[in-house]
Structure 1
Amino acid sequence: MQANDHEADLALLTEAARAAGEIALKYWRRAPAAWDKGDGAGPVSEADLAVNEMLEAELGAARPGYGWLSEESADNPARLGAERVFIVDPIDGTRAFLADEGGFAHALAVVEAGRVVAGVVHLPALGLTYAAHAAGPALLNGAPIAPSAATRVEGASVLTSKLSDAASNWRNGEPGYRRSFRPSLAWRLCLVAEGKFDATISLRPCWEWDIAAASLIAERAGALATDRAGRALGFNGAHAQNNGLIVAPPALHADFLAHLRPWPL
């Protein structure tokens, strides 16, 4: 796949993400119907499904040969044999969306041979659009972004959940980082990419649709994005999960690996 193909796919994803935002905002703060998916999968709303339906139809029509993987679609194993695949989270941060908060995102990616080649994370309520393709810079609303210069876990500002605080995750107990949280995992990666926070970590399995688009944005900004053991992230897998996540500038990423217990525990 050539760079101009990456650019064309990025343009397609950007247009689709903005259309997704228009749909989502028609439901936002209007008490859309919502229900729990069960098995710990969290809530879903009529807005999630409306966005998903549009994206699957529009992106599928534009690239009929691409496979499809979305949080809100039944999985089709045919994607495993596709040369390129759309990986999509129609609304990442549904809980925030249903709470009338603006920190929800549309995360859209194109994956080729297990690697992301184009990605967009769009937050319509906040007017933020992060984007990158595999041969270009990471952009926020069209301007280049870069991660922080942090090098040490101690004192770093880290986007993560309380689950990461468990002493069992760390070689010598929880280090002294400053923990914050944002409801959209994709947005957390993007906030690291633009240097608003030093790192984001997740020490439990991560669904591909949550991290695909934003992992490329973080990498093109200059951060490292790996699983919790420091291994490269892979996409369009049969189970569609990666083994946790560490996203940080290179020196800080190395310090996280030095502090974390080897996996499996």
Structure 2
Amino acid sequence: MTSHWADMDDDNLARELAGAAGELLLSLREQGRLTDPASLRSQGDRRSHEFLMEHLAAVRPADAVLSEEGADDAARLGASRVWIVDPLDGTREFGELPRVDWAVHVALWERGALAAGAVARPAMGSTLSTSRRPVPPVREPGPIRLAVSRSRPPEFVTRLAERLGAELVPMGSAGIKACSVIDDVTDAYVHAGGQYEWDSAAPVAVARAAGLHTSRIDGSPLAYNRRNPLLPDLLICRPELADVILTALAETADYEEAV
């Protein structure tokens, strides 16, 4: 398997790695049905991380890696190619059988920009990637639909929805929320309140490949492979809605400052 992957381009490699890690997680989840959920989550994070690190080292030995589950190596700051991975996005949902809203993120940053990415959704039987550019369906008329956390929707996004007259659609992991825009389940994913580069790198790469708008919530570009990997906010949305959502975001921020 590894020797075959070594000959792949980066887009297909991201897809294969994310998909294979997802299959490992599905197997682990099936075997661990009677396991304590906390133990299952811990095993999932660790096993998927170890799998991705082993195979990236084998097929792209010269590249650096930034993983949520690994120690950060400052050498990546001088590297021209850095894989940014979240071995298990939605660890909470992974431990709650039979939830399907969890994912595996694999992205490649190269010389200042995201160059490839894949979001595997193993329990949904689907992987979205830059190797097969997804095309979102035409949007039907109706209120804007905003993806939000199922367990802790931010008050900021609730106020944004009120300003937009939007509907809130609760769901699990960051990758699932981002991909919901591509699937036409939602029209936008707005997050403000704390994330890291591994939470959004792969979803943003895939969203861009699908022609969606991606930015910080103030409209500035999303930047990756920085010294501090904290990337606390983002907007992923249909391009025709970007201006109206960014305007509403600015007005919501102004309101928060006023109160």
> TM-score when scaled to structure 2?
0.84
- Are the counterparts in 2 of residues 147 and 221 from structure 1 also a CA contact under 8 Å? no
1:156 is matched with which residue? Answer: 144
Report SS of the residue matched to 2:175. Answer: helix
* Pairing partner for 2:234 from 245, 258, 265: 245
Q: Is the 8 A contact 1:117 1:216 kept in 2?
A: yes
Of 218, 221, 246, the residue aligned with 1:257 is 246
Greater shift after overlay, 48-57 or 244-253?
A: 244-253
Q: Could you tell me which amino acid in structure 1 is paired with residue 125 of structure 2?
A: G
Q: Which residue of 2 aligns with 1:138?
A: 133
**Cα distance change, pair 166–14 in 1 and its aligned pair in 2 (3 A):** closer
Name the TM-score, length of structure 1 as normaliser.
0.82
Q: Distance in 2 between matches of 1:50 and 1:138?
A: 29
Structure 2 CA distance for aligned equivalents of residues 55 and 138 of structure 1: 23
Change (3 A) 1:32 1:88: farther
CA distance in 2, matches of 1:254, 1:148: 18
Which of 180, 191, 211 in structure 1 is aligned with 2:169?
180
Amino acid in the other structure paired with 1:214: P
Matched, 1:225 2:214: yes
Residue matched to 2:9: 8
Q: Counterparts of 1:1-265 in structure 2 under 5 Å? A: 8-29=9-30, 30=32, 31-32=34-35, 35=38, 44-100=41-97, 101-132=99-130, 138-139=133-134, 145-146=135-136, 148-149=138-139, 155-161=143-149, 163-166=153-156, 174-261=163-250, 265=257
Unaligned 5+ runs, structure 1? 1-6, 37-42, 140-144
Q: How far apart are residue 34 of structure 1 and its match?
A: 5.8
C-alpha distance in 1 between matches for 2:153 and 2:202: 24
Pairs aligned (count): 243
* Higher percent of residues as helix: 2
CA shift digits 1:36-76 (9 cap, x unpaired): 9xxxxxx9511210110010010121111111101110111
Q: Which amino acid aligns with 1:21?
A: G
Partner residue in 2 for 1:40? none
SS in 2 for 1:241: coil
- Tell me, yes or no, if the aligned pair for 1:32 and 1:45 is still in contact at 8 Å: no
The one-character-per-residue Cα deviations of 1:87-131 (angstroms, maximum 9, x if unpaired) are 001011111110011211111001112321110111111110101
Contact kept in structure 2, 1:147 and 1:249, CA below 8 Å: no
Identical amino acids, percent of aligned pairs: 31
Listed one character per residue, the Cα deviations across residues 167-195 of structure 1 (whole Å, up to 9, x for unaligned) are 8965x964321001221111211121232
- Residue ranges of structure 2 left out of the alignment (5+ in a row): 1-7
Whether the 8 Å contact between 1:148 and 1:192 is mirrored in structure 2 is: no
Q: Structure 1 residues 79 and 33 mapped into 2: Cα distance closer, same or farther (>3 Å)?
A: farther
CA distance in 2, matches of 1:167, 1:13: 31
Structure 1 pair 132/46, CA: closer, same or farther in 2 (3 Å)?
same
Distance 1:34 1:72, change over 3 A: farther
Shift of 1:22: 2.1
Sort the Cα spacing of 1:261 and 1:10 in 2 relative to 1 into closer, same or farther, 3 A. Answer: same
Q: Which amino acid aligns with 1:14?
A: R
Aligned-partner Cα distance in 1 for 2:138–2:225: 30
How far residue 148 of structure 1 moved from its aligned partner, in angstroms, is 4.8
Q: Report if the CA contact (8 A) 1:94-1:104 is conserved.
A: yes
One-letter amino acid of the structure 2 residue matched with residue 146 of structure 1? P
Assess, with a 3 A threshold, how the Cα gap between structure 1 residues 132 and 219 changes in structure 2: closer, same or farther. same
Instruction: Answer yes or no: is the 8 Å Cα contact 2:22–2:122 preserved in 1.
Output: yes
In 2: Cα distance, 1:218 partner to 1:208 partner: 15
The structural deviation recorded for 1:82 is: 0.8
